[in-house]
């Protein structure tokens, strides 16, 4: 059996000067993308809170200052909002035992409507969280 002899002076070299630039650009890109706001949220002026608690956000319900209702980013008419919320809770119950309804209500929104949404969610055995800043 013959073995090849290695030639002296030959060595493999990898050119990595541009690799640092590419990695830096990728790092900056992912840092910027990670700090972007959640696109599933309708902008509303939130009340201030004192505690810092986090809840898993299954269903996002938003009420803006013009009393418009949103589930996620989809605008829902107030006449059919109750049934749409119940359907959404039932849909999530197939995947999660107790889905979480997160309510984003503007400070100018009627809080009687917020409590009505809380009652609907509690009646359908969902956990309710009101979002504050």
Q: Is residue 18 situated within a structural domain?
A: no
Q: Is residue 88 situated within a structural domain?
A: yes
User: What CATH number is given to the structural domain containing 83?
Assistant: 3.30.420.270
Q: Is residue 50 situated within a structural domain?
A: no
pLDDT digits (tens, 9 = 90+) for 56-86: 667 889 998 888 999 988 999 989 999 999 9
Q: Is residue 9 situated within a structural domain?
A: no
Q: Is residue 32 situated within a structural domain?
A: no
Instruction: State the chain's mean pLDDT as an integer.
Output: 81
Polymer length of the chain: 133
Indicate the SS3 state at residue 102. Answer: strand
Residue 97 CA to chain centroid, in angstroms?
20
Task: Tell the residue number behind the tokens 């009340």, with chain if given.
Answer: 47
pLDDT digits (tens, 9 = 90+) for 79-98: 999 999 999 999 988 888 88
β-sheet with 74-76: strand ranges across: 74-76, 69-71, 59-63, 100-105, 127-130
Structural domain boundaries enclosing 89: 59-130
- Quote the CA–CA distance of 35 and 100 in Å, as a whole number: 24
Cβ(104)–Cβ(129) under 8 Å? no
Other beta carbons within 10 angstroms of residue 102's beta carbon come to 20
Q: Is residue 36 situated within a structural domain?
A: no
Which conformational region is residue 107 in: left (phi greater than 0), alpha (psi within -120 to 50 degrees), or beta?
alpha
Q: What is the mean pLDDT of residues 27-33?
A: 86
* Residue 38 pLDDT level (bands cut at 50, 70, 90): low
pLDDT of residue 111: 81
The total domain count for the chain is: 1
The answer to which of 50-54, 111-115, 125-129 has the lowest mean pLDDT is 50-54
């Amino acid at each position: 059996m013959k073995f090849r002899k290695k030639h002296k002076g030959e060595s493999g070299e990898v050119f990595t000067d541009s690799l640092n630039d590419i990695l830096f650009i990728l790092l900056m890109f992912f840092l910027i993308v990670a700090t972007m706001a959640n696109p599933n949220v309708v902008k509303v002026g939130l009340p201030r809170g004192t505690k810092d608690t986090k809840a898993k956000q299954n269903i996002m319900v938003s009420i803006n200052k013009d009393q418009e209702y949103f589930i996620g980013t989809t605008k829902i008419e107030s006449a059919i909002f109750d049934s749409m919320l119940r359907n959404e809770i039932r849909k999530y119950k197939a995947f999660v035992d107790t889905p979480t309804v997160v309510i984003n209500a503007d400070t100018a929104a009627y809080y009687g409507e917020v409590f009505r949404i809380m009652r609907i969610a509690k009646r359908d055995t969902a956990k309710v969280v009101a979002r504050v800043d």
